[in-house]
Each structure stands twice: as C-alpha cells, then as structure tokens.
C-alpha cells in the first residue's frame, strides 16, 4: 500500500496553491479522513451486487466536474494532479474505465464508457454486470490516463444506491488520488512508499488499491497499536422469542472493506445503552467483508439475505437484560506496519433500510498494550 504522505506535484503552481503545497511537503502531513461528496481522481464503490433471485441491484451515477478548487481539503488529498479552479476542463468526451472485483479482490470484469464534463452516466449493474449475478464485489472507476499508468487528467463524482425490492439506500463512495505509476510493469510494485498511484491490478489481490486517503487509516509506517471505530447495530433481542424472531428487531449487515492485511479474528466490543460491554470477534478474512449480525440471541439467518461472507450472533453486554436493546459494535483492528485504510458502514434493516457510516475514533498507540477495552478507548 503506497503512502499518501508525500505528493508528486506538478512543477508549476499558481500563487494560491503555494502555501498548502509547502505545508504538505515540509510537514509531511497525512490527510486521511472519512470524506463524502468529494471528487476523486479515482473512485471506489465498496459494495456492488446484483442478484436476480433476491431482487437486489446497485446503480452508480457518475459525473465529470469541468473544474474543482484546489486550495482546500479534501481536493488537496484526493485531486493533487488534476484541474485547479481557474482552469476549465475541455468539453470533449472523456473515457472512464470501471473494474469489478469480487470480495477476495480478484478482478472479474471491466469496461469503459465516454462522458462529457457535467453530464451524467448511469451504470446499472443489473444491465452491465448481469454475468456476475449473485456475486459480491466492488467497483473502481479510473480515468483513461490513470488506467494506462499516467497522472489522472480529470476528476470524477459518483453516487451509488443499493436496492432490495422496493427498499433502497445510498452506498458511500470514496475518492482517491491517482498519480504516475513511475513506469512500473503491470503495476506489480505499487507498494513503493511515496507514490500516489492507484493499482488497478496486482499479483497480490489484497494490495490492489493505493492510496485510499478518504477512508479510515488502519496502518502507518513505524506505528504499533490499534485503529478503533464504531459500527451501529439495529435493535437486537436478548432471549428466546417465538419462531426465533420478534417484532421490532433490526438485522444489521456490517460492511468492512480493507486494503491492508486480512484479520482472521478481529476483536470488538458490543456496547449497550448504559455503557456496559462484552467482547466478541468477527472474521474479516477478505478484502470485502459482509457480516450479518443476527437480530436475536437465538435467531436463524435474517429474512433479507443479502449474500454475506459471515453470519454472526454477537454477545449481549448484560445477560440479565432481556428484550429489545439498542447497541453498537466497537471494532479494534491491529495497526498494519504499512500505510493502509479501511471503509466501514452498517446497513440496518428495520422498518426501512438505512446506511450509517462508521464512527472513527482513530489510532491508539499501545505501549504497553491496554489491560481492558476501556483503557484502550481512553
């Protein structure tokens, strides 16, 4: 995973950009944060699926802005190579490549389309990716220049929507910087630190993307510790309801995408409404992990069966508390020894389907390791 701490800026800068440029270079600033609604030189859509039997589909709306501002975050992080505010993009059609990967990070399908600035293109996965029927995956959008190993030469906006029958919800999308691949053959050396390239295809699938500065930073050179973030859970029932389900429960699908190492057993803590907690683990063995959190302590698989990599019945913080409970899951991922990032959000299936982004607590340096989860989070 390439570091995003050093930018490869072009030689000529307009006066309004000099201050931010020198600040970033000399202070070696990392601009990792959860960004939504920002343009990117490449775009990650972390969950894409079509399933004809379950009436599931994903649609992606794509626009090319004719210009973006440069002298502010997040454009400094996500668009360091592309058009500044005082330069209009020429109005000719631009080629955008899309690449579909399965949940293990294997490239399964790709294509491209042409789009003029400020126009809208709708990528309907039911129509375009129908041969991937029932397969979990994610999509990367890149410029033609970036696809061929050069600096990206324009930016992309995108919005994504997941629908199940008549229900639908937005899926978060994440922008990335995409710089020169430095003549790397087949992009096989994209882990070279300091480069801003996006690796569309590598021999090692879990190192495909670089750098995702718009996500949750889960690794940094020379650091040991943990990265902590919260994932909201729907209402769960502690007890033995009739038929395994009860009115008011809200099955939750946790979506966690990692561009770093896989976590065989990721430690987490389930917190209740009064701050009580219990510890549990979930397996994150893939690039894209979909974990169904079952709605009761004794429930079968959920009725809305979006295909998942894991079905899990998490612990309940208090065995004495029965009935419907509001909870959230705090996940603590060991810090990777290299630059890496995660994307995480919850899909809660209640009276409607809703998406809630993870709440990022940040990285915690553990020297010595904490003796309790409360000490970790202090």
pTM of the model: 0.80
3-state secondary structure 274-311: CCCEEEEEEEECCCEEEEEECCECCCCCCCCCCCCCEE
Contact 110, 100 (CB under 8 A): yes
Measure the CA–CA gap between 303 and 185, rounded to whole angstroms. Answer: 47
> How much is the average pLDDT of 171-196?
59
| Residues 37-57: tens digit of each pLDDT | 778 888 999 999 999 988 999
Q: How is domain 15-214 classified at the architecture level of CATH? A: Sandwich (2.60)
| Residues 278-287: tens digit of each pLDDT | 999 998 888 8
Worst-scoring range by mean pLDDT, 81-85, 294-298, 368-372? 368-372
Measure the CA–CA gap between 56 and 79, rounded to whole angstroms. Answer: 33
pLDDT at 367: 56
Domain range summary for the chain, segments of one domain joined by +: 15-214, 225-376
Of residues 207, 156, 212, 214, the one with CA closest to residue 186: 207
Measure the CA–CA gap between 298 and 74, rounded to whole angstroms. Answer: 45
Contact 46, 133 (CB under 8 A): no
Contact 37, 227 (CB under 8 A): no
């Amino acid at each position: 995973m390439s570091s995003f701490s050093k930018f490869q800026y072009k030689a000529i800068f307009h006066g309004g950009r000099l201050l931010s440029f020198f600040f970033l270079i000399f202070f070696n600033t990392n601009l990792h944060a959860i960004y939504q609604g920002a343009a990117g030189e490449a775009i990650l859509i972390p969950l894409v699926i079509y399933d004809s039997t379950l009436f599931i589909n994903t649609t992606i709306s794509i626009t090319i802005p004719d210009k973006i501002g440069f002298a502010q975050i997040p454009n400094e992080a996500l668009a360091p190579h592309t058009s500044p505010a005082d330069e209009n993009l020429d109005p000719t059609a631009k080629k955008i490549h899309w690449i579909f990967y399965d949940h293990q990070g294997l490239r399964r399908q790709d294509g491209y389309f042409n789009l003029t600035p400020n126009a809208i293109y709708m990528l309907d996965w039911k129509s375009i990716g129908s041969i991937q029927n029932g397969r979990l995956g994610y999509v990367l959008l890149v410029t033609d220049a970036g696809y061929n190993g050069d600096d990206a030469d324009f930016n992309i906006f995108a919005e994504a929507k997941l629908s199940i029958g008549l229900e639908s919800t937005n899926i978060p999308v994440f922008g990335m910087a995409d710089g020169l691949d430095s003549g790397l053959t087949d992009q096989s050396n994209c882990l070279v630190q300091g480069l801003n390239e996006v690796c569309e295809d590598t021999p090692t699938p879990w190192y495909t993307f670089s750098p995702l500065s718009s996500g949750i930073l889960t690794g940094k050179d020379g650091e040991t510790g943990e990265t902590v973030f919260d994932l909201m859970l729907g209402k769960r029932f502690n007890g033995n309801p009739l038929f395994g389900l009860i009115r008011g429960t809200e099955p939750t699908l946790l979506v966690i995408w990692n561009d770093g190492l896989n976590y065989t057993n990721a430690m987490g803590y389930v917190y209740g409404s009064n701050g009580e907690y219990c510890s549990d683990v979930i397996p994150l063995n893939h690039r894209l992990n979909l974990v169904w959190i079952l709605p009761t302590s004794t429930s079968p698989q959920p009725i809305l069966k979006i295909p998942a990599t894991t079905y899990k019945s998490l612990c309940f913080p208090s065995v004495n508390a029965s009935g419907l409970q509001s909870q959230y899951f705090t996940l603590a991922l060991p810090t990777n020894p290299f630059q890496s990032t995660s994307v995480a959000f919850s899909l809660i299936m209640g009276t409607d389907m809703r998406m809630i982004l993870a709440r990022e607590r940040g990285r915690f340096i553990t020297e010595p390791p904490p003796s309790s989860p409360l000490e970790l989070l202090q």
